[in-house]
Amino acid sequence: MNQSEVYKQPLGPWEKFVLLALLDYGKRAFPKQETLATKCSMSRRQVQRSIARLKAAGYVTTKGAGKALTYHVNCAHMAQVGAPNRRRCCAHMAHQVRLIGAGILTSPINEPNQPRAADAAGVGWEVPDNMAERIRARDPRADFAAQARVCRRILAQHGLTQPEAQRTWLALCAAWASTGNNAYEVLAKLTLGLEEARSPRAVLLHRLKEVAA
């Protein structure tokens, strides 16, 4: 697996650091968490949280425990999630070359190859057009489908019902539109430390009130 694929993933910076560090060892790795922390200039606790998020998002699986703990990087999942970003980037560049050749300048929001947010996100996970335009103004290569897939999985693993998850997705997209931080990055911050909570769902819903406010 080419490590450049990591940069195409809808992950936060700490998760990308840890994923890159794991890939230094190959698809299967068994480094100590202290070693990963040193490689990534992170605390051991940060490494543990990043690995937990990578596991929740389907990028990493583990086997064993203690000194026998082995990490497996799911390269097939990485390729699947990163492919839409890669295809869109190539289409975007080709389109820009044609526009430059014709002497035309256009906004990325109005490009003909840009899929509608409602089509990309899936039924029940549509992004309103006005919100999608605001997001693309900050992030022209925004991949709603990949972001929705990862967020759906994480929200389900934290016990949110389908309606709760869909409302959360809209709140995350609203934050994406106003800050430029993609939905997964916002969600990653909200889920910090939830593995220690007695009721992760209740804590997450409480934290989401601040995002929606």
100 is a domain residue: no
In sequence order, the 6+-apart residues with CB closer than 8 A to the CB of 8 are 81, 82, 85, 86
CATH assignment at residue 56: 1.10.10.10
- For residue 101, count other CB atoms closer than 10 A to its CB: 8
Tell me how far CA of residue 21 lies from CA of 26, 27, 39, 47, 146, in angstroms.
9, 11, 7, 11, 23
Residue 87 within any structural domain of the chain: no
Return d(Cα 168, Cα 182) in angstroms, integer: 13
Number of domains in the chain: 2
For residue 198, being part of any structural domain is answered with yes
Q: Tell me, what's the pLDDT at 176?
A: 92
Q: What is the pLDDT of residue 122?
A: 55
How much is the pLDDT for 93? 46
Same domain, 19 and 69: yes
Same domain, 123 and 190: yes
Q: Which pLDDT score is estimated for 95?
A: 47
Q: What is the distance between the alpha carbons of residues 181 and 161, in angstroms, rounded to a whole number?
A: 24
Instruction: Provide the pLDDT for residue 97.
Output: 47
Would you say the pTM of this structure is higher than 0.75? Answer: no
Q: Which of 76, 106, 126 is the last residue of a domain?
A: 76
pLDDT score of 117? 41
What single-letter DSSP state applies at residue 9?
S
Residue 115's pLDDT is: 40
Amino acid 177: pLDDT: 92
**Cβ partners under 8 Å of residue 6, min gap 6:** 16, 19, 20, 23, 78
Residues 203 and 126 in one domain: yes
Q: Give whole-number Cα distances, 82 to 23, 150, 185, 196, in Å.
A: 16, 12, 16, 30
Per-residue confidence of the chain (213 residues) as pLDDT tens digits? 566 788 788 888 888 888 888 888 887 888 888 888 888 888 888 888 888 888 888 888 988 877 778 898 888 877 776 554 444 444 444 544 454 454 443 333 333 344 444 333 456 788 888 899 999 998 888 888 888 888 888 888 888 888 888 889 999 999 999 998 899 888 988 888 777 778 888 998 898 888 766
Q: Which amino acid is at 151?
A: C
Supply the range of the domain harboring residue 71. 3-76
Q: What confidence score (pLDDT) does residue 147 get?
A: 87
Is residue 67 within 8 Å of residue 26, measured between CB atoms?
no
Quick check: is 29 in a domain?
Answer: yes
**Do 68 and 136 belong to one domain?**
no
